[in-house]
Structure 1
């Protein structure tokens, strides 16, 4: 006797082939007319007689042209809300699924692409590609940002100043945007907050601009450096920076530790105060940098190290 079975996909369970008008068996031959994609799979033929039995496996792959669509093809999502694209596909076999955004590959290989919280940089064109060894198919969809949003824009800022110790300094930044941005201040990369000598305040005008000021009373030599105002909101950020020079001997503020991935580029600025400064030198283990081509030192105190290696 001859009996045919088909394995359940992804398991070792098998089911007897159900014969019908489309699927026939003639002796040991299984005939499938007008084969469908769902006929693909692993088959088992079992042969028995009075002496014993034998079995053999074979694999059937029914090919069909690949076709892909993305649902929805267009969607408009507000900032902070989730977005979902589903890559629907037809055809066989399908070996890989991949996604691109604005022509750049995404690290995603599932049929469903989910963005938990839409940001400004998420808007654009998305593509889903399905492939096998012979062909590929592609579909596109667009994500737009909902509502009216304008990234922050600095409308008024401050310039470089050179002062004598004991002077008072008033720095001002005015920024606009929708939603109204918040302004923060930094000195050589360190966040500033209100204290006995630094007074920070801000208010919103009737037209929606935010005005922020930084007052430094009785400025000292150590207060010199690169001052920066940063206007940020959920749709972006913009910044302005300028040097405030205070006459006096050189002073280098303590530097915070920096973490960087191996192979990346390190850019660090020397947080120096005092004026005038004749030169800024970087050292490592009592050796003056640069000591190789990956290191670059600039007259303004900036150090760049390319292709950083693990220490």
Structure 2
């Protein structure tokens, strides 16, 4: 499980509880990505009766109680660990422990630090207009965003419904890996704007598809008369006509 950390915003919250005596230590592990020189905030929300004691252990074995303030590290009263000016050397496993006289639980956070981050971007136009064909063929909407680290994708349907990777909702499927959205057996009512959000620690980009109900081509207008020169005696005695017909029409 990967989580993304950005400046001034918490995006990862995990809760550990200590309400009864545990037979063995409960340990949960997550992975978190941060960017060099930004601020990482690792949340560790704890509940328990009696109220547990909470502390963090760094990859170097240093124990940080709650609350704590020292250098670039701070443990807030709510149990969250803040790292200011994250460096590559801050990578490693951080453990949040909660303990009372009934038991103990732990949260293990594997912190990775990206030295270079690039905001997601699209090499193709950010807005495309596509027809909904009447043959029932599935529509594949692509989200070819690039970024460092690789972005995560979320699709937003015209009615505001959000689809995360691997989610299928009726005829709509958000595929894992490539971020494509598949619309099976599309109908005219599927028209509207579909948005793909590509996000990583450096920022976010958006691509939109406007689906419109397609119609067969139809020519409207008044009756027209096409004139053709008279035949030249002995040379031409018929005139072939070519047009948008299933067969060639010849008039003598």
In the superposition, the TM-score normalised over structure 2's length comes to 0.37
Kindly indicate which of the two structures has a greater share of residues assigned to strand: 1
| Bigger CA radius of gyration | 1
TM-score (norm 1): 0.31
Higher relative contact order structure (alpha carbons within 8 Å, sequence separation ≥ 6)? 2
